[in-house]
Structure formats: structure tokens, C-alpha cells
Amino acid sequence: MGGFCNEVRCIMKKENNSAHNHNRGSFSGRIGYVLAVAGSAVGLGNIWRFPYLAAKYGGGTFLLTYLILTLTFGFSLMITEVALGRKAGTSAIRAFGHFSKKHTFIGYLTTIIPFIIFPYYCVIGGWVTKYALVSLQGGIHNAASDTFFTGFISKSAEPMICVLVFLIATTVVVAGGVKGGVERVSTIMMPVLIVLLIGVSLFCITRPGAMAGVAYYLKPSLKGFGPTTILAALGQLFYSMSLAMGIMITFGSYMPKKADLEKSVTQVELFDTGVAFLAGLMIVPAVFVFSNGDSSMLAKGPSLMFVMLPKVFNSMAFSSVIAAVFFILVLLAALTSSISLLETLVAVLMDKFHMKRGTACITMFIIALLLAVPSSLGFGAWSNITILGFDFLDFFDFISNSVLMPIAAFLTCLFVGYIIKPKVIVDEVESSGEFKRKSLFLIMVKYIAPICIVAILVFSVLEGLGFITV
């Protein structure tokens, strides 16, 4: 492992901002950085979305495809963003302008994405909060009914109260600062999350009939494999690894200069993939146990976590305990991601408008709460209002994940590959250690990644607008 370095303050590049940037904070060392960034990457995408996609696209084949893409495509994009952030010593909104004034707009585009995502993510976080509370109260039997979820989200007041609770928890952590809030909570939450994941996974795979689910999840199958499998894995990669949201740039700006950059990024990608893998071992066998081997149950998509899994848990012995542990686990994962989203936005307000952290947190709290209202009411009082056929939450998700994120990633690749040149990134990585995958990075960022990103953009837009169905 090479040991963890002591705290090293970021070296600021611009004299007129030196005093301000000095107070931005930094991680205490590599372990703090890795756990915080892993917390950002690990979220609902790992625990809900990944198992569903893995089951849909061939189990072991999808796993292998995703792993290869993580170690190549995902690594290249992540190390690019982290190195940009550490080199510039500022958040995404100013990082690109640090290198080229003409390309400041990329930073603004990147910043818009978490601004859109954070409010509706808090809505989903509120749903998870509700299920965690119900499970803790022993109400999993009620949650397993066909009408419980739709009955809950169609209300006006109760979902917003849950959003408020989730948002307050997120804001309190971020208000504590980089080391005192984000890093401290991540160093507690992530180990707990891993222990819970392992525990629930072991329980699920030892249930009668579960091994059929394990085989379905792990056994590679070329049946149905094609370009859509690769594109689905690439799309999940963006979603899961928090790419093209400004998060990795922001966290990179907090990273100590002596921390081995490549090693840190490698640990984060393996951590993220490991959590997704464990989530699959937990969910897929559990559904098989409940459905008596009916694999079609896995294709429930968005309803899987809130509709199907309560039924799964309700059918098991110790249902209340298992459900409570699971939804607490999911809540922890959701919180780690929401914390990173809010930290990114707070850093923008601090860097751009020179706000104090407390003021920035309160400002974003109010904005996020107001913007969460349409996404929450979109399933109830405002359910008759749609945009391009989407309800509010799905529309914000479509615009941010399917449109803006690929565009931001594409522009980042062009910026690094052809404007400031990859040497800037290479030099930053090599300033703190060996760059073992340098050749891979150079090929990916200049040639392969841009092509893949364009493919993701086209595929995602066509699928989102209903022109293709997979």
C-alpha cells in the first residue's frame, strides 16, 4: 500500500485567490480521499441499478464487460478529472478556466449537472428514508403490499417530509467541512456499508433455491450479447463512478499533493465495482428465492427495490430484521452519494462567490428543497404535468444522465486530448508516483473514449425518447 501520507495543503496557483482557497480544506491523506470518493461513487446505482442491468444483459457476460470498461474507460476518465482538480486546486466551475480561459464554459456545463441531479436524488433518498423507517418499525409486511409504494409517493406532504429529513442529514455532514464532515462520515459509513453488504449477501446466497440465482448472476452467457450490452455497461459506468458531474474534479482539488494519484483512483474503481458485485450477490439470489426461479422478476427495473424486494424480505424468516438492515444499507449508500453532490455544489459557491461554507450550505439547502418539490409532486398532485412525455423526476434524470453528462465527458476528453494536451495530466499523476497505465490513458482519452461517449449519447437519447427499446 505504500503507507498513507500526512496532510498536505493544496498549492494554490492564483495569487488573488490564495487566501480564499487556503480555507477550502483538504483530505488528511490517501485513505480519507479513497473512502470519500468511494462513498461518492457508491450509491443507488450500485445497489439497485447494477444488479438489474447485470441480470438483464447476461449476468456474467455483463460483469466481465463492466469490469473491463471500468479498468480502461472508467479509469481514464476518472484519473483525468481528479488530476485536473488537483492541478487547478479548485472546483469544476473554475478548473477548466485555470488552464484555458476560452474553455471556462466546460466548467459551467459540468457544474449544472449536479445542480440538476441533487434535488431529485434527495427525493429518491427520501423514499429510501421512508422504507428504512418502516422497516425499523417492523412494518415490512405493509411495505410488501402492491399499493404501498404508489400510495406513498402519490401523497404531497409525507414524501416531502422524508426529503427534508434526508436533505438535513446531508447538509449537516457537508457543513462540517472536508475533514470534519465528508471525510469523517465516509470513513465510518463505507466500512459499515461493506460489512452490511457482505452479511446480507451471505444470508441471501445460503437460502434454499438461491444458488440458481447465483449461477444466473455469475455464469457468462453470449445469448443476447451485443452492442447494447456494451453501451448499457458504459452508461452504468457514468452513473456509478460519478463521472462528468464535477465531483471528481472537486474531490481532486482536496487531494494532498503527495498522495499517489493512480493508486488512489485504482482503489476507488475497485471499491466501486466490488460494492456493485456484492449488491448483485445480495439482490439476484434473493429475487430467485422469492420467485421460485422466475428470472423475469429481475426485469422489474425501477420498481425492483421499492416494490419487489419488500415482498422478497416479507417471505423470509426474520423479515423485519433483514429488511431493516437492507434499507439502512441502501440509505447509507444514498447518503454518501448525496454528500458528494452537495459538497461539489458548495465548493462552487465557495470558489465562485467567495461564500463561507456555512452560508453556502444553507443556500444550497434552500435551493435544493425548492427544486425537489416538482420531482416529488410529479407522482401526486402534479402527475398530470409532463415534459416530452416524462414526469419531472424522469425528465431531470434524462437531461442530466443521458444528455449533459455524455456531452460534458466528451468535451473534457477533447479539452485534455487536444487543447491542453495529455502531458498536463501525465505530469500531475507522475508528480506523486508512477503512472503504470499511462499508455492506456493516452489512447483512451484521445481516441477511444470520445467515440464511446458519442455512442452513449446517441443510444441514451434514442432510448429515452422511445425511438429504440432494449
Averaged over 276-303, what is the pLDDT?
74
* Sequence letter at residue 216: Y
Can you name the residues that pair with 220 across neighbouring β-strands? Answer: 59
In this structure, whether the domain defined by 27-464 belongs to CATH 3.90.1150.10 is answered with no
- Mean pLDDT taken over the chain: 85
pTM for the full predicted model: 0.86
- Number of neighbours of residue 300 by Cβ within 10 angstroms: 15
Provide the pLDDT for residue 15.
31
Alpha helices per DSSP H over 137-223: 140-143, 148-153, 157-175, 184-205, 210-218
| Per-residue pLDDT reduced to its tens digit, 72-88 | 999 999 999 999 999 99
Provide the pLDDT for residue 453.
94
pLDDT band, very low/low/confident/very high, at 180 (cuts 50, 70, 90): low
Can you name the residues that pair with 387 across neighbouring β-strands? Answer: 390
CA distances from 286 to 36, 280, 363 (A): 29, 10, 42
| Per-residue pLDDT reduced to its tens digit, 36-82 | 666 666 777 788 788 878 877 878 888 889 999 999 999 999 999 99
| Per-residue pLDDT reduced to its tens digit, 202-258 | 888 888 888 888 888 888 877 767 888 888 888 888 878 889 999 899 889 988 888
Provide the pLDDT for residue 4.
26
| Per-residue pLDDT reduced to its tens digit, 100-156 | 999 999 999 999 999 999 999 999 999 999 999 999 999 999 998 988 999 999 999
